[in-house]
Amino acid sequence: MNKDIFFISDYITREKREKLHKHLGCLVWITGFSASGKSSIAKDIEKKLYDKGCISYALDGDNVRRALCKDLGFTKKERAENIRRIGEVCKLFVNAGIIVIAAFISPYKEDRKKVAQLVGEDRFIEVFADCPLEICVKRDPKGIYKRAIAGEVKNFTGIDADYEKPDNSTIHIKTDSVSIDKAGDIIFKYLTDNGYINF
C-alpha cells in the first residue's frame, strides 16, 4: 500500500540541524545482558552530553518497551520487531541531528546490524556492555533473573534465550570492572575523538 505515499523534499536537512546543534546526529547503541549497566551508562552519557550543551536523548526499556512496543513480547520474532521499531525511531532522532543513546539487550546480531544499516554505519556506534552472566544474575536488581531461573519469566536472555556477543563492537566495556562514570567518559571521549562532537 505504501506506493501511495509520496515524498516532499526537506528544507531543513540533517546537516543544517547539525550546524545549529554544533554536533552530529548519531546513535550510541548499548547492547548487553540485563543488569549489565546499559541504562545507567546511557543516563550517565546523556548527562555528560547535556552538560556540554549537546542535544541528546536516551531510549531504553522504560520509555520504549512500556510505550511504543507495549504490544510486543519477547519471542525472537517479537524482539526483531521491537528492535526494528526502535531502529526507526533512532533514525528519526539521528535525522533530527540528535545524539540518541539506546540501551537495549538486543541479543541478536542480525537485528543490531539492521539498525546500523538503517541509520548509516558511519552514524552507528555499538557499545558492548560486557558483564559475565553470573555477575548479572548475582546483581539481579529487579529480581528478574531469579524469576526466569524459576521459569516464571520466559524467553529471558541468558537463561532460556541466547545472547549473541558483538564480534567487533566500536567500544567494548567490561562493566563488571569499569564504573558507570568511567564508561560514560570512554563513550564521551570516543564521540569527541571521532568528530561527532566538536568543541
Binding site for a second copy (CB under 8 A): 1-2, 4-8, 10-12, 16-17, 20-21, 39-40, 43, 46-47, 50, 53, 55, 57-68, 70, 73-74, 85, 88-89, 91-93, 95-96, 98, 141-142, 144, 147, 153
Nearest of 37, 47, 159 to residue 103 by alpha carbon? 37
Closest approach of a second copy to the CB of residue 10, in Å: 7
Cβ distance to a second copy smaller for residue 172 or 180: 180
Query: Residue 54 carries which DSSP code?
Result: -
Cβ distance to a second copy smaller for residue 16 or 165: 16
Closest approach of a second copy to the CB of residue 167, in Å: 28
Closest approach of a second copy to the CB of residue 190, in Å: 20
Nearest of 158, 160, 20, 185 to residue 98 by alpha carbon? 20
Cβ distance to a second copy smaller for residue 79 or 166: 79
106 catalytic, yes or no? yes
Query: Which residue among 106, 169, 177, 179 is the active-site one?
Result: 106
